[in-house]
């Protein structure tokens, strides 16, 4: 018979990361992480979302033991994190935002150094370095010193560096920052691929990245974790139904249409970026009927309809809604 405590233990074992009341206060002045309780399931691609300064990077650094918590504790695969938690760090591959790399080294030298730091024997290290450099598309740059690398190349080398020890957990901080579209696509594809065999935590404020790759999500705001759950849970929080109508015609006509739409029951409308009309449909009102009513008004106006966008920014809206709710809670937060 399974006892309740053993079930609890099993659940803990299924977690890659677990924090309890994790708090970080800098110099008794700045609260970077505020009483955070976080659980990241093993094998998930977890998006850590939040505006700049929300405490995402601090959280990752606390997990790595680069910083010490003011209160609370963090565990990775059941082991406590801390400055000398070598066992924890051997399970983690970390990619910092715009990684600072030793400019005097060449890529192979750098990855070899990191392989040695991870105590990898030569017969494992060498082939892995070659494979990684090939995977991140830096085979052609092995003769160059790192100081000559572009931002994108540095990020790709940083990605390779985080994978040298083949760790089961990856903590990637803003992996797409400063990347051109093709490099960005490559990185997102890689995260999706790695997510099949590893637990990946991606800290970012770019919502579309999260939308594309993550199956679980945590939203941070002012050091607090204001939401954790699956992407499905997150999208279900979006109580409003939004459409964006792209129109062609005079700005005055768009404004007039906006007033007419806003007069319909349970529908709110506002002009967004000149020629676009953002329409929000209240809960409980039929989307199709509302849209039909709106389209009738468009047809009656002097405007021509170019496109209708729906649900494209569901995550963004849910995210913004969460932030607004958190702000509105005030003292009760």
Partner 1 sequence: MDSTAKTSKIGTRMMPYMAILRHDMKTLWCSRLVRLWLGATALLTLLLVGSNWSNFQDGTLIASLLFPYLVFPWFFVVVVLGVTPVSGSRTETLADGILCRPVSRFEYLLATWSARVVLVLSVYLVVIIPAIVLVILAKRPVPEDTVTVYGIVTALCVVGLVLTFLVSLGFLTGTLLRKPLLAVVVLIFVWYPIGLILSFFSLEEFSPISLNRAISTQLRHSWRETDAEAKDNANVQDADVFTDQVTNFFSVLSGVQPKPKASKPDFFEGEKFDDFSLFRVTLGYGLPTIASVILASLCFYWRDM
Backbone angles phi, psi at 177, to 5 degrees: -65, 130
Nearer to partner 1, 15 or 85 (CB): 85
Nearer to partner 1, 50 or 158 (CB): 158
**Both tokens of residue 31?**
């609260």
15 close to 201: Cβ distance less than 8 angstroms: no
The footprint of partner 1 on residues 68-87 (CB under 8 A) is 68, 83-84, 86-87
114 binds partner 1 (CB under 8 A): yes
CB of 136 to partner 1, least distance (A): 17
Task: Give whole-number Cα distances, 78 to 16, 88, 155, 272, 325, in Å.
Answer: 8, 9, 30, 48, 33
**Both tokens of residue 113?**
């150094």
For residue 30, the SS3 value is strand
The footprint of partner 1 on residues 117-136 (CB under 8 A) is 117-119, 121
CA distance linking residue 51 with residue 326, whole number of Å: 13
The footprint of partner 1 on residues 242-271 (CB under 8 A) is none
CA distance linking residue 81 with residue 36, whole number of Å: 15
Binding mask 152-191 for partner 1 (x = CB under 8 A): ---------x---x--------------------------
CA distance linking residue 186 with residue 41, whole number of Å: 25
- Site stretch for partner 1 (CB under 8 A), options 58-66, 224-232, 269-277, 323-331: 58-66
CB of 45 to partner 1, least distance (A): 20
300 binds partner 1 (CB under 8 A): no
219 binds partner 1 (CB under 8 A): no
CB of 160 to partner 1, least distance (A): 13
- Site stretch for partner 1 (CB under 8 A), options 35-43, 114-122, 196-204, 306-314: 114-122
User: In the β-sheet with 216-221, what is the strand arrangement from edge to edge?
Assistant: 92-95, 169-173, 199-204, 45-49, 216-221, 224-230
User: In the β-sheet with 15-26, what is the strand arrangement from edge to edge?
Assistant: 30-41, 15-26, 71-76, 79-80
Nearer to partner 1, 66 or 297 (CB): 66
**Both tokens of residue 149?**
């690398």
Give me the residues that bind partner 1 (CB under 8 A), please.
26, 61, 64, 66-68, 83-84, 86-87, 89-90, 92, 94, 96, 99-102, 104, 110, 113-114, 116-119, 121, 161, 165
């Amino acid at each position: 018979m399974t006892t309740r405590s053993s079930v609890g233990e099993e659940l803990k074992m299924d977690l890659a990361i677990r924090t309890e009341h994790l708090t970080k206060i800098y110099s008794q002045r700045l609260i970077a992480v505020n009483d955070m309780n976080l659980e990241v399931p093993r094998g998930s691609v977890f998006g850590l979302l939040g505006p700049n300064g929300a405490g995402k990077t601090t959280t990752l650094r606390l997990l790595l033991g680069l910083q010490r918590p003011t209160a609370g504790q963090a565990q990775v695969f059941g082991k406590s994190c801390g400055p000398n938690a070598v066992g924890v760090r051997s399970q983690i591959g970390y990619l910092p935002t715009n990684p600072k790399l030793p400019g005097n080294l060449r890529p192979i030298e750098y990855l070899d150094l990191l392989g040695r730091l991870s105590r990898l024997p030569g017969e494992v290290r060498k082939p892995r370095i070659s494979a990684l450099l090939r995977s991140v598309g830096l085979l052609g740059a092995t003769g160059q010193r790192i100081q000559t690398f572009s931002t994108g190349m540095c990020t790709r080398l940083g990605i390779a560096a985080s994978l040298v020890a083949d760790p089961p957990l990856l903590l990637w901080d803003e992996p797409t920052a400063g990347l051109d579209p093709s490099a960005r696509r490559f990185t997102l594809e890689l995260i999706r691929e790695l997510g099949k065999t590893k637990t990946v935590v991606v800290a970012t404020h770019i919502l579309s990245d999260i939308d594309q790759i993550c199956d679980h999500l945590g939203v941070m705001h002012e050091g607090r974790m204001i939401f954790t759950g699956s992407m499905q849970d997150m999208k279900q929080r979006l109580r409003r139904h939004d459409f964006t109508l792209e129109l062609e015609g005079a700005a005055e006509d768009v404004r007039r249409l906006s007033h007419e739409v806003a007069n319909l029951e349970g529908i709110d409308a506002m002009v967004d970026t000149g020629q676009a009309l953002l329409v929000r449909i209240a809960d409980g009102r039929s989307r199709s009927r509302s849209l039909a009513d709106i389209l009738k008004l468009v047809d009656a106006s002097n405007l021509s309809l170019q496109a209708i966008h729906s649900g494209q920014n569901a995550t963004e809206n849910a995210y913004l809604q969460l932030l607004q709710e958190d702000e509105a809670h005030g003292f009760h937060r």
